[in-house]
């Protein structure tokens, strides 16, 4: 089986999250997304600052 | 006669005999269960960790020893959660994230783990080659020999053997104790200035940077993945959890002890000297006392090696779990070719990078800290959420008290490690 077929199979296997989506879990996951977006934003800012030679 | 009355009517000698036998039985159980906790905690004092402690001792003397004492329990509270999760679910952390939170968070965690681990593995090789270069061993010889030893450690086909070899390297980590004894530090000075919380020179940006660096070296994302997978591979059961917690607690005490002795040694000899790497500290201390430099270099090599064997396994286990490959150290190479292939690929590629002339090794070392920061909060948040899943965890789910402690600890770690990562990107921000 090829790599991409295997990845599709994994995605299919774990398609449904099994943790109970309580409000606490939803808030935690939302905050995590925001946190990671901010962090990636900072990384990109640093990268482009370096490229621009600032 | 009832058993209770029999017991109370026993004489002193039989009671001592039964007490001794019970004690021996407990020790036997502990020795059988122990391993993952001690190894992960000692490996936490990896090459980067030793550099941080050496720099801390040289910059602030004994003054930040108290902070290490606090970090011990912090590491314990995080790691003991992986023990419970692994023992109950029989799954590693990567697979548990996929299962509980779906493919998005699963792939994010897995790929971030691989990148972080690979970059950290490079830093371990940097530490090992620097340590052995003090003994005039060329880097390519170090890389080749270390890689071969690492391959043979896993290819012998038993988790138990791998663990016992790793434990021997954990014992070598104690080399920092004679290091600190040789320099004859003032015990009263250590107690007076080191064990009472204080902020030398006031709470300024540089001190804050050092505190964050110490936290960054104490809690690393790979530790969470490694210990949970090791617990599963070892076959720890729910009834063994108290012993595994003891294993983790002893490991955290051990790691604080070793880190403390590194700080004491460098604080006594190198106070006021700017230390950029542990190898540089070993060279400087070798000028004071030949044995001192030798011990520090041996310790640095050992730290890098322990870090390398655990980090490379954490990644291979994680990939094996998610891709459904056979992924136990108890498997022969024919039974788990992908698992061992992944391991060999990681080790060999990291070793090769170190040998590339003019490779940006300093940049890689800094980049590790930044990438680790993107994974650590996610791994810790998932850990707490999984530990609160009462359907899966049953009686071993987090209690209210455990949640208060773990959420507080994780919250502080996330904030400080993020500031550490950001200050690595923007060095003038906090200095």
- DSSP class of residue B201? T
Please report, for residues B112, B154, B232, the alpha-carbon distance to residue B163 in angstroms, rounded to integers and kept in the order given: 26, 10, 13
- Tell me which residues of chain B, numbers 221 to 280, contact chain A at a CB-CB cutoff of 8 Å: none
**Burial of B346 by CB count in 10 Å (0-12 exposed, 13-18 middle, 19+ buried)?**
buried
pLDDT tens digits along B280-333:
888 888 888 888 888 989 999 999 999 999 999 999 999 999 998 988 999 988
**Burial of B99 by CB count in 10 Å (0-12 exposed, 13-18 middle, 19+ buried)?**
buried
- Residues of chain A neighbouring B373 (CB-CB closer than 8 A): 39
3-state secondary structure chain A: CCHHHHHHHHHHHCCCCCCCCCHHHHHHHHHHHHHHHHHHHHHHHHHHHHHHCC
Q: What is the mean pLDDT of residues B121-145?
A: 93
Helix B278-288 to helix B47-60 angle, to the nearest 10 degrees? 60
Output the pLDDT for position B239. Answer: 92
Q: Is the pLDDT of residue B348 over 90?
A: yes
Output the pLDDT for position B8. Answer: 56
Quickly count: other Cβ atoms within 10 Å of residue A21's Cβ.
10
Interface test with A, best of B108, B323, B368 (most A CBs within 10 A): B323
Q: What percent of chain B has pLDDT over 70?
A: 97
**Does the complex come out with an ipTM higher than 0.85?**
yes
Show the tokens assigned to B213: 């660096």
Question: Are A17 and B426 an interchain contact pair (Cβ–Cβ within 8 Å)?
Answer: no
Spatial separation of the C-alpha atoms in residues B419 and B170, rounded to whole Å: 31
Q: Is the pLDDT of residue B155 over 50?
A: yes
CA B170 to chain centre: 11
**Burial of B53 by CB count in 10 Å (0-12 exposed, 13-18 middle, 19+ buried)?**
buried
Domain boundary assignment for chain A:
24-54
Q: Is the pLDDT of residue A54 over 70?
A: no
Torsion over CA: B117, B122, B126, B129 (sign) = positive
Q: What is the mean pLDDT of residues A1-21?
A: 88
Which of B423, B325, B413, B338 is closest to B375 using CA atoms?
B413
Spatial separation of the C-alpha atoms in residues B30 and B284, rounded to whole Å: 41
Please report, for residues B177, B414, B423, the alpha-carbon distance to residue B430 in angstroms, rounded to integers and kept in the order given: 33, 17, 6
CA distance B428 to chain A (A): 13
Q: Is the pLDDT of residue B2 over 70?
A: no
Which of B92, B43, B106, B48 is closest to B378 using CA atoms?
B106
- Tell me which residues of chain B, numbers 107 to 126, contact chain A at a CB-CB cutoff of 8 Å: 108
- DSSP class of residue B238? G
Mean pLDDT score of chain B: 88
pLDDT tens digits along B28-72:
888 888 899 999 999 988 888 888 898 899 889 999 999 999 999
For chain B, domains (ranges, CATH) are 36-425 (1.20.1740.10)
Spatial separation of the C-alpha atoms in residues B207 and B213, rounded to whole Å: 10
- Residues of chain B neighbouring A24 (CB-CB closer than 8 A): 388
Which of B428, B427, B54 is closest to B275 using CA atoms?
B54
The pLDDT confidence band at residue B1, using thresholds 50, 70 and 90, is very low
Considering only alpha carbons, which residue of chain A is nearest residue B370?
A43
The pLDDT confidence band at residue B218, using thresholds 50, 70 and 90, is confident
The pLDDT confidence band at residue B3, using thresholds 50, 70 and 90, is low
pLDDT tens digits along B370-408:
777 777 888 889 999 999 998 889 999 999 999 998 889
Considering only alpha carbons, which residue of chain A is nearest residue B392?
A19
């Amino acid at each position: 089986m090829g790599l991409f077929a295997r990845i599709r199979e994994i995605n299919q296997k774990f398609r449904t999250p099994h943790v109970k989506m309580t409000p606490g879990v939803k808030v935690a996951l939302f905050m995590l997304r925001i946190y990671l977006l901010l962090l990636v934003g900072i990384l990109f800012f640093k990268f482009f600052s370096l490229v621009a030679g600032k | 006669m009832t058993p209770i009355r029999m017991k109370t009517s026993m004489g002193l000698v039989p009671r001592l005999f039964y007490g001794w036998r019970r004690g021996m039985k407990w020790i036997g159980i502990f020795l059988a269960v122990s391993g993952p906790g001690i190894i992960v905690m000692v490996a936490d004092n990896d090459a980067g960790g030793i550099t941080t402690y050496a720099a801390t001792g040289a910059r602030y003397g004994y003054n930040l020893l108290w902070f290490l004492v606090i970090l011990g329990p912090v590491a314990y509270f995080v790691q003991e959660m992986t023990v419970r999760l692994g023992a109950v679910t029989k799954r590693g952390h990567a697979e548990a994230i996929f299962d509980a939170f779906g493919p998005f968070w699963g792939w994010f965690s897995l790929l971030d783990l691989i990148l972080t681990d690979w970059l950290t593995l490079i830093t371990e090789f940097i530490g090992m080659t620097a340590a052995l270069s003090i003994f005039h061993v060329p880097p390519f010889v170090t890389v080749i020999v270390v890689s071969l030893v690492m391959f043979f450690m896993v290819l012998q086909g038993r988790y138990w053997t791998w663990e016992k070899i790793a434990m021997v390297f954990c014992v070598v980590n104690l080399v920092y104790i004679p290091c600190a004894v040789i320099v004859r530090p003032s015990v009263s000075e250590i107690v007076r200035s080191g064990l009472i919380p204080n902020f030398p020179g006031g709470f300024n940006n540089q001190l804050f940077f050092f505190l964050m660096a110490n936290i960054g070296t104490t809690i690393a994302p790979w530790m969470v993945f490694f210990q949970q997978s090791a617990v599963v591979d070892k076959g720890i059961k729910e009834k063994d959890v108290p012993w595994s917690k003891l294993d983790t607690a002893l490991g955290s005490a051990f790691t604080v002890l070793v880190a403390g002795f590194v700080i004491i040694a460098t604080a006594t000899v190198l106070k006021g000297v700017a230390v950029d790497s542990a190898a540089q500290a070993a060279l400087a201390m070798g000028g004071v006392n030949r044995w001192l430099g030798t011990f520090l270099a041996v310790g640095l090599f050992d730290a890098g090696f322990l870090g390398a064997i655990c980090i490379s396994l954490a990644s291979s286990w994680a990939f094996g779990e998610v891709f459904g490959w056979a992924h136990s150290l108890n498997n022969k190479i024919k039974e788990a070719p992908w698992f061992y292939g992944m391991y060999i690929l990681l080790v060999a590629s990291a070793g090769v990078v170190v040998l590339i002339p003019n490779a940006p090794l300093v940049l890689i070392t800094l980049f590790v800290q930044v990438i680790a920061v993107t994974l650590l909060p996610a791994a810790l948040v998932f850990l707490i959420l999984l530990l609160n899943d009462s359907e899966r965890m049953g009686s071993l789910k987090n209690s209210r008290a455990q949640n208060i402690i773990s959420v507080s600890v994780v919250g502080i770690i996330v904030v400080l490690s993020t500031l550490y990562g950001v200050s690595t990107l923007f060095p003038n921000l906090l200095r």
